[in-house]
Amino acid sequence: MNKNILNIIMIGCFVLITFGFMFVNVFKPNADFSFAERRKLLSAPQFSGTTLLNGKYFDDYEKYFLDQFIFRDNFRGFTAFTKLFLLNQQDYNDIYAVDGNICKIEYPLSEKAILNAAQKLNQVYDLYLQGLNVNYAVIPDKNYFMGPSYGAPTMDYGKLLDILQSDIRNIQYIDLFSGLSINDYYKTDIHWSQDKIIGVADILMAGIGNSILPSDFGYTIKELAPFYGSLHGQAALNLPAETLFYLTNAMLEEAVVFDYETMKKSSIYVTDLFEGIDPYDVFLSGAKALLTIENPNATTDKELILFRDSFGSSIAPLLACGYSKITLVDLRYITTDLLGNYIDFSAADDVLFLYSTQILNNSFMLR
């Protein structure tokens, strides 16, 4: 084959790729959502003279092109493969996998954020919780367990706890670090698996001073599959699916969840949401600003207020055995100042702040 033909092949390949993707992308309908990345994809920006002249219009177009590029997920997978296996990088966008267990590197420790979290707890205490039995616990992220053996940098967890313990006033600390292991978490998700945390629920109840232990109750383990956790899509690696487990019994099935945003009642587990954007939303319908769980079969009339993040959604049902009512507050979605309008703090017996290290290390999102 002569050189000219090879040159033509070279030009042809380039033209085919560049023109091909241009035409396909121009005529392809926009996708609304990336299930792999769990986020809404951008649509074309609105034109205005101001955004055109200040450069925002084309900046937004650039982001839109990236979001809507055809085969986006395949290209991300190809890039993950290139970085991890061809360039021999240890992680891909801070995510690494060991034996199918995916972990996100949470590093470095933001001392400012931890201090802010401590101040937030103090603020809530001063406003609403004086005189109550108030406790806090921290849930380690997966990198706490996997990081050291993998050699990945880990945040200084000792310093994190030191800051909290020295700056939080009047609130008792309950240690969960020693009660958890990497096996308690899903391999493809950041969260723990509900069937593995009955012991953790016991630690919390004992720490709060509630004598009713979740492990004294019987549960039926139910399964939902295939479960792809949030890290699965971010890792862009072709790892196998898992099974999502949830625990139920007669008491939990009769418990009623009330959502203050929608003013609607529902059950603890909403299995329809398993097919949605985040399958973990099965637990208490996912991210919600303010919920209550009323347990008509409780053997006590005690009430708990649980300040929590998404980890709280799966452990709250286990704590429900010891309370007639649990109020769940997610400060990412409701401001502290408004809490008094919705919650009767004088009716509460116990209060628990339960936050993961990821949220504490990014605590400026707490309102």
Partner 1 sequence: MLFSSISFLYYFLPAVLGIYFITPAKYKNLVLLLASLFFYFYGEPIYSLLMVFSIASAYLHGLWMDKAPTQRHKKIAFISSVSFSVGALLFFKYHLFFVNNFNSLFGTSIVPLKLLLPIGISFYTFQILSYLIDLYFGRIKVQKNPINLATYVAMFPQLIAGPIVRYSTIEAGLAHRTHSIPDIAYGINRFVIGLAKKVILANTLGEIGVLFNGADEKSVLFFWMAAIAFTLQIYFDFSGYSDMAIGLGRVFGFKFLENFNYPYISKSVTEFWRRWHISLGSWFRDYIYIPMGGNRVSLLKWGRNIFVVWFLTGFWHGAEWNFVVWGLYFAVFLVLEKFFLNKLLGKLPGAIAHFYLLPVVIIGFVIFNADGMGEALINLKGMFGLLNVPFANTETIYYLKSYGFVFILAAIAATPLFKKIAEKLKSYTFGEKTLSFSKPVIMVVLLLMCTGFLIDGSFNPFIYFRF
Comparing CB distances to partner 1, the nearer of 101 and 143 is 143
- Strands 350-356, 303-308: pairing kind: parallel
| Dihedral sign for Cα atoms in the order 313, 315, 321, 325 | negative
- Neighbour count for residue 103 (Cβ, 10 Å): 26
Quote the CA–CA distance of 303 and 348 in Å, as a whole number: 5
Site membership for partner 1, residue 11 (CB under 8 A): yes
Site membership for partner 1, residue 13 (CB under 8 A): yes
Question: Minimum distance from CB of 173 to partner 1 (Å)?
Answer: 23
Site membership for partner 1, residue 43 (CB under 8 A): no
Question: Minimum distance from CB of 63 to partner 1 (Å)?
Answer: 9
How many CA atoms lie within 13 Å of 172's alpha carbon, on the beta-carbon side?
15
Quote the CA–CA distance of 290 and 238 in Å, as a whole number: 36
Question: Minimum distance from CB of 239 to partner 1 (Å)?
Answer: 18
How many CA atoms lie within 13 Å of 287's alpha carbon, on the beta-carbon side?
8
Comparing CB distances to partner 1, the nearer of 60 and 195 is 60
As a dihedral over the C-alpha atoms of residue 26, residue 29, residue 30, residue 34, rounded to 10 degrees, the angle is -120
Quote the CA–CA distance of 317 and 130 in Å, as a whole number: 26
Question: Minimum distance from CB of 188 to partner 1 (Å)?
Answer: 19
Comparing CB distances to partner 1, the nearer of 111 and 344 is 111
Binding residues for partner 1 restricted to 82-111, rule: CB under 8 A: 82-83, 87-91, 93, 107-109
What angle, rounded to 10 degrees, do the helices at 111-124 and 157-167 form?
A: 30
Give the interface segment with partner 1, choosing from 54-62, 186-194, 202-210, 223-231 (CB under 8 A).
Answer: 54-62
Comparing CB distances to partner 1, the nearer of 1 and 263 is 1
Residues of this chain that interact with partner 1 (CB under 8 A) are 1, 3-4, 6-11, 13-15, 17-19, 21-22, 25, 52-55, 58, 61-62, 65-66, 69, 72, 75-76, 78-80, 82-83, 87-91, 93, 107-109, 151-156, 236
